Amino acid sequence: MKTRYALRALMGIMRREMLRFVGQQGRFAAAIVRPLVWLGIFAVGFRSVLGLSIIPPYESYILYEVYIVPGLVGMMLLFHGMQNSLSMVYDREMGSMRVLLTAPLPRWWLLGARLLASTATVLPIVYLFLLLARFWEVRPPALGYGAVLPALILAGLMLGAFGLALSTLIRQLENFAGVMNFVIFPMFFASAALYPLWRLDEVSPTLAMIAWINPFSHAVELIRFALYLQFEPVAFGVCVLALAVFFSLAVWGYDPGRGFWARRGANNSA
């Protein structure tokens, strides 16, 4: 694989994905409005709880700022990863994905370029949300905005790779909506996105164990700690391992001799 050809393919794929994302104004608006709506609802709810003195003020602050906002950032990355999975299914149905994979470059490089491009497109939206969250008095350390960037990239790559692997299992575009609801909401609510694991353990040890096994929880934890200038080694290790597993499954699934392509060839021959 020649370096200049590989870089040219990477830049071409990134340019295509960015133009597609910018051109889809509805998707762009939904990506930023969705977490802002959630943030507004939780802001009102927590302020009401704080006013009624149901829980101590400091604990309310911790749950609201330190836990919920990074959880909503993780939700943005999760939804974006699923949207990328949808675009992969669409490209496969239209035939453009097959054309891409016939390029004289390794399959892992082409899929990795697509994954990197997808992650790069969502980062500006995440930072826009973090800046808008300051109007709700969510103000992490100034250095946290820079420290969280590697965590955002790793979490975005991991969740994007999950979407890539998932797209290999979906045969028809019509089935995608049901799969998204079946995957996104359990991953989000059975995680540490909205509440800390110790709080879940007090309510239900079983739910806390499920949340700990959920890789999305570790993506949120990685972002949460990095935003406040800390490093969480367990979350980092889990995210790296999950990224390797999901990406390997995606590469395997898009092999013409295996996965979806083999099943499709078998159905056509039958």
Q: What is the pLDDT of residues 102-130, one digit of tens each?
A: 667 788 888 888 889 889 989 999 999 99
Mean pLDDT of the chain: 79
Q: Using 50, 70 and 90 to split pLDDT, how confident is the model at 226?
A: very high
Q: Look at residue 157 in the predicted model and tell me its pLDDT.
A: 94
Higher pLDDT, 83 or 147: 147
Q: Using 50, 70 and 90 to split pLDDT, how confident is the model at 63?
A: low
> Of the given ranges (5-14, 167-176, 207-216, 218-227), which has the lowest mean pLDDT?
167-176
The backbone region for 196, taken as left when phi is positive above 0, alpha when psi lies in -120 to 50, beta otherwise, is: beta
Q: Look at residue 60 in the predicted model and tell me its pLDDT.
A: 45
Higher pLDDT, 71 or 86: 71
Whole-number percent of the chain with pLDDT over 90? 25
The pTM of this model reads 0.82
Higher pLDDT, 142 or 174: 142
- pLDDT at 54 > cutoff 60: no
Q: Using 50, 70 and 90 to split pLDDT, how confident is the model at 158?
A: very high
